[in-house]
C-alpha cells in the first residue's frame, strides 16, 4: 500500500502542476475576454442577445465532449492546447453573465450622479460602474473557478496531464485509493482557488486593498510552485503558439548534446517518444510495455494514458504521438467503416494496407493475442443449463439482461450479434467496462459483452460463450507507428522482439495482476517483456 501511495506522490508535482497550469490560465484569460465582453453586452443592446446566447450554448455542450471536439477541431492536436481552449470556453459564461448583470444593475442614480459631476461615459464606467459591479463580477469568477478546476480533471483523455489522471487510472484499475487521492487534491485546489477569489471579493466589498494584495501574493506563490516542474511545457506551448509549430518537441532536447557525446550507446540512445494508450487496463500495460522495451535501448518515452480511442488515432495520424497499440477490429469498424467480418489474417492485411495508404501509418505487426469482444456468463449458470455457445441464449433472450460498455452497444458488432443469434428481446444496460465483470458475478446482469483477454473472466468464474456464426470480428492487437516513427529503422529493431510474443493467456495474466492483484501496470508490463534487449 505504502509503495502505491509513494508512487501517487511521485506523480503529484507533474499532475498537480499540470492541473494548475491548465485551470488558472484558462480562468485568467477567461477574465480578460469576458469582462470587456460583459461590459459591451451591458452597453450595446445589439451585442447582448447573440453574445449571451452563444456563450450559453457553449456551456450546454457536455464538457467531456467539448474537450474531445476541441481535439478534432484542432486537427488531432492533443495535450495542453485543446484542453486549454475548452476550459477557456467554460470559464467565459459565468464571468460574462455576471459582468453584464453587475453593470446592468448599477443604480441608475449612480450613473446619473457620474454624469452630473462631469464624467465621460468611459470615466463613469471605469470609476463608478465597474467598481460598483466588482463584487458581482468576482462572484462570477468564483463560479468559473469552481467549474474550470473541476472540469480540468477531464483533460486526461485528450492527453493533457491533470489530477484527472489519478481518477481515470484509478477507475480503470479499480483502485479506489487512487481515485480518492485525485479527488482530494482536486477538491483542495478548488477550495483554495475559490477562497483566493473570495478574498478579492471581500476586498472589493469592504474596500480594503491590502486583502487583494495578500490574495494576489498567495495566488502567485501557488502558481509559482506549480510552474517550477512544468516550466518547460508552458514554454513549449508558447513557442508552439507563436511559431505555429507542434508542441511535441523532444522533451530531453536539452541533454541531447550531452548524450550524443557517448556515441557508442545503444540503438535509440537519446531519442524520446510519445506513446499513447486508451482508457483500460490492457492499454495501460501496453503503454508501459512499449516504454520499457524502448528504455532497454536507451530511449526515453512518455506514456499518455487514458485517451479516447478516436483522439488517439488522430494524434497518431498527425504525429503528436509516435505509437500505440490498437486492434484490427477497431480500425476495421471505426476508421475504415467496414461492417462485414473477415478472417483474422485477411483483416490484418487489409487494415495494414488501408492505414499505410490512407494515413501513412505503419502497422508494425501483431503482438500475438486477440482482445475480441465476447459474450460471457457465470460458469455455474453455463454448466447447469448447458450453455456453450451464444446460440443457447436465443430462446431465453427475453429473460436476460446484457451488460456492456456504451461503446459496445453503438458498434456494428452488437447489431450483427443481435441479428445472427436473434437476441433482440435482450435487455441491455450500459456500464463502465470496469464494473461489468463484477456485475455479472453479482447477478446484476446475466450476460456481459466482455473482452477476451480480461483477467476477470477467469478470476470471477465466468465462461466465454463460443461464436459459431463468427459474428464478432477479430481483434488482433497491433503496434501502430506514426509516419515519422515508421521511418526510424532503429526503432523497428528495438520493437521487433515484441512481435508475436504475447498470447491471450499471458495477456489475461497480466491484466489480472493489475485488476485483481493491484499491481501497477508497469509491473504487469515487466512480466510481458521478451527475453534479451
Partner 1 sequence: MSAGHDNALELREVSKTYDGGRTHAVDTLNLTAKKGELIVVLGGSGCGKTTTLKMINRLIEPTSGSIRIDGREVTRLNPVRLRRSIGYIFQGIGLFPHMTVAENVGITPRLMGWEASMISKRVDELLEMVHLPPDDYRDRKPSELSGGQRQRVGFARALAAEPSVVLMDEAFGALDPITRDRLQAEFREIQRDLHLTSLLVTHDMTEALLMADRIAVMNEGKIVQVGTPHELMSSPKNAYVEELIDTPKRQAGQLEQLAEEAS
Cβ atoms of 479 and 323 within 8 Å: the answer is yes
Asked if residue 209 binds partner 1 (CB under 8 A), the reply is no
Residues 6+ apart with CB under 8 A from 317: 76, 359, 360, 361, 482
Which of 127, 235 has the CB closer to partner 1? 127
116/244 with CB nearer partner 1: 116
State which of residues 60, 207, 337, 489 lies at the interface with partner 1 (CB under 8 A): 207
123 vs 483 by CB, closer to partner 1: 123
The one segment of 75-83, 125-133, 181-189, 444-452 that binds partner 1 by CB under 8 A: 125-133
- Separation between Cα atoms, residue 224 and residue 17, nearest integer Å: 9
10 vs 112 by CB, closer to partner 1: 112
How far is the C-alpha of 447 from the C-alpha of 403, rounded, in Å?
Answer: 6
The whole-angstrom separation of Cα 184 and Cα 172 is 18
Cell of 254: 536539452
Judged by CB under 8 A, does residue 110 bind partner 1?
A: yes
- Written as nine digits, the cell of 58 is 457553449
131 makes contact with partner 1 (CB under 8 A): yes
Instruction: Specify the stretch interacting with partner 1 by CB under 8 A; choose among 122-130, 172-180, 282-290, 522-530.
Output: 122-130
Total of chain residues touching partner 1, rule CB under 8 A:
17
- φ, ψ (nearest 5 deg) of residue 318: -95, 5
The yes or no reply on residue 345 touching partner 1 (CB under 8 A) is: no
- Please give the residues from 300 up to 319 whose contact with partner 1 meets the rule CB under 8 A: none
Compose the 90-109 pattern: x for residues touching partner 1 by CB under 8 A, - for all others. -------------------x
For residue 36, give Cα distances in angstroms to 33, 203, 404: 6, 21, 48
Cα–Cα distance for residue pair 230/226, rounded to 1 Å: 7
- Of 118, 244, 254, 531, the one binding partner 1 (CB under 8 A) is 118
Min separation Cβ 137 and partner 1, Å? 13
User: Between 42 and 66, whose beta carbon lies closer to partner 1?
Assistant: 42
Three-state DSSP string of 390-415: HHHHCCCHHHCEEEECHHHHCCHHHH
Q: Is 254 in the site for partner 1 (CB under 8 A)?
A: no
Cell of 121: 461615459
Strand-pairing partners, residue 365, are: 479
Binding residue for partner 1, selected from 115, 198, 391, 506, defined by CB under 8 A: 115
Q: Please tell me whether residue 395 binds partner 1 under the rule CB under 8 A.
A: no
128 binds partner 1 (CB under 8 A): yes
Q: What is the DSSP string of 104-135?
A: HTS-HHHHHHHHHTT--HHHIIIIIIHHHHHH
- Burial class for 181, CB neighbours closer than 10 Å (0-12, 13-18, 19+): buried
CB 117, min distance to partner 1, A: 5
Give min distance, CB of 207 to partner 1, in A.
6
Distance, CA of 183 to CA of 187 (rounded, Å): 6
Taking the complex as a whole, the smallest distance from the CB of residue 33 to partner 1 amounts, in Å, to 25
Q: Decide: is 112 part of the binding site for partner 1 (CB under 8 A).
A: yes
What is the C-alpha to C-alpha distance for residues 135 and 137, in angstroms, rounded to an integer? 5
> d(Cα 304, Cα 123) in Å, to the nearest integer?
51
260 binds partner 1 (CB under 8 A): no
CB of 39 to partner 1, least distance (A): 17
Question: Considering beta carbons, is residue 206 or 256 the nearer one to partner 1?
Answer: 206
Residues that bind partner 1 (CB under 8 A): 109-110, 112-120, 123, 127-128, 131-132, 207
Amino acid at each position: 500500500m505504502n509503495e502505491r501511495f509513494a508512487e501517487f506522490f511521485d506523480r503529484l508535482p507533474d499532475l498537480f502542476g499540470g492541473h494548475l497550469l491548465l485551470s488558472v490560465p484558462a480562468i485568467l484569460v477567461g477574465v480578460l475576454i469576458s469582462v470587456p465582453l460583459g461590459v459591451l453586452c451591458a452597453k450595446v443592446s445589439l451585442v447582448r442577445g447573440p453574445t449571451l446566447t452563444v456563450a450559453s450554448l457553449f456551456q450546454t455542450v457536455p464538457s467531456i465532449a467539448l474537450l474531445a471536439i476541441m481535439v478534432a477541431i484542432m486537427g488531432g492536436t492533443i495535450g495542453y492546447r485543446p484542453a486549454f481552449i475548452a476550459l477557456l470556453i467554460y470559464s467565459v459564461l459565468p464571468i460574462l453573465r455576471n459582468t453584464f448583470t453587475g453593470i446592468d444593475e448599477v443604480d441608475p442614480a449612480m450613473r446619473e450622479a457620474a454624469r452630473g459631476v462631469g464624467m465621460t461615459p468611459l470615466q463613469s464606467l471605469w470609476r463608478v460602474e465597474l467598481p460598483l459591479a466588482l463584487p458581482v463580477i468576482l462572484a462570477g469568477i468564483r463560479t468559473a473557478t469552481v467549474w474550470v478546476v473541476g472540469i480540468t480533471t477531464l483533460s486526461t483523455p485528450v492527453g493533457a496531464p491533470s489530477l484527472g489522471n489519478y481518477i481515470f487510472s484509478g477507475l480503470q484499475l479499480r483502485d479506489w485509493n487512487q481515485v480518492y487521492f485525485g479527488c482530494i487534491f482536486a477538491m483542495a485546489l478548488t477550495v483554495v482557488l475559490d477562497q483566493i477569489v473570495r478574498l478579492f471579493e471581500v476586498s472589493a466589498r469592504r474596500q480594503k486593498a491590502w486583502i487583494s494584495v495578500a490574495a494576489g501574493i498567495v495566488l502567485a506563490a501557488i502558481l509559482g510552485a506549480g510552474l517550477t516542474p512544468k516550466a518547460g511545457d508552458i514554454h513549449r506551448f508558447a513557442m508552439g503558439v507563436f511559431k505555429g509549430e507542434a508542441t511535441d518537441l523532444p522533451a530531453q532536447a536539452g541533454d541531447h548534446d550531452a548524450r550524443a557525446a557517448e556515441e557508442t550507446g545503444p540503438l535509440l540512445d537519446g531519442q524520446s517518444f510519445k506513446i499513447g494508450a486508451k482508457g483500460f487496463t490492457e492499454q495501460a500495460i501496453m503503454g508501459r510495455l512499449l516504454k520499457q522495451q524502448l528504455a532497454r535501448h536507451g530511449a526515453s518515452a512518455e506514456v499518455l494514458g487514458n485517451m479516447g480511442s478516436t483522439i488517439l488515432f488522430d494524434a497518431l495520424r498527425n504525429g503528436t504521438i509516435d505509437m500505440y497499440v490498437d486492434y484490427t477490429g477497431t480500425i476495421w469498424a471505426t476508421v475504415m467503416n467496414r461492417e462485414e467480418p473477415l478472417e483474422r489474417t485477411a483483416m490484418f492485411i487489409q487494415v495494414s494496407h488501408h492505414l499505410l495508404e490512407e494515413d501513412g501509418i505503419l502497422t508494425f505487426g501483431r503482438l500475438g493475442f486477440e482482445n475480441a469482444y465476447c459474450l460471457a456468463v457465470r460458469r455455474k449458470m453455463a454448466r447447469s443449463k448447458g450453455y456453450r455457445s451464444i446460440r443457447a441464449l436465443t430462446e431465453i433472450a427475453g429473460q436476460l439482461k446484457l451488460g456492456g460498455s456504451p461503446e459496445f452497444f453503438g458498434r456494428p458488432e452488437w447489431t450483427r450479434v443481435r441479428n445472427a443469434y436473434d437476441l433482440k428481446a435482450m435487455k441491455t444496460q450500459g456500464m463502465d467496462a470496469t464494473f461489468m465483470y463484477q456485475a455479472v458475478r453479482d447477478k446484476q446482469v446475466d450476460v456481459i459483452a466482455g473482452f477476451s483477454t480480461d483477467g476477470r473472466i477467469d478470476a470471477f468464474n465466468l465462461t466465454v460463450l463460443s461464436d459459431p456464426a463468427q459474428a464478432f470480428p477479430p481483434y488482433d492487437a497491433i503496434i501502430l507507428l506514426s509516419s515519422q516513427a515508421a521511418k526510424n529503422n532503429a526503432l523497428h529493431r528495438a520493437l521487433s522482439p515484441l512481435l508475436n510474443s504475447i498470447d491471450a493467456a499471458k495477456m489475461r495474466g497480466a491484466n489480472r495482476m493489475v485488476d485483481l492483484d493491484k499491481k501497477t501496470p508497469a509491473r504487469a508490463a515487466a512480466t510481458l517483456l521478451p527475453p534479451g534487449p
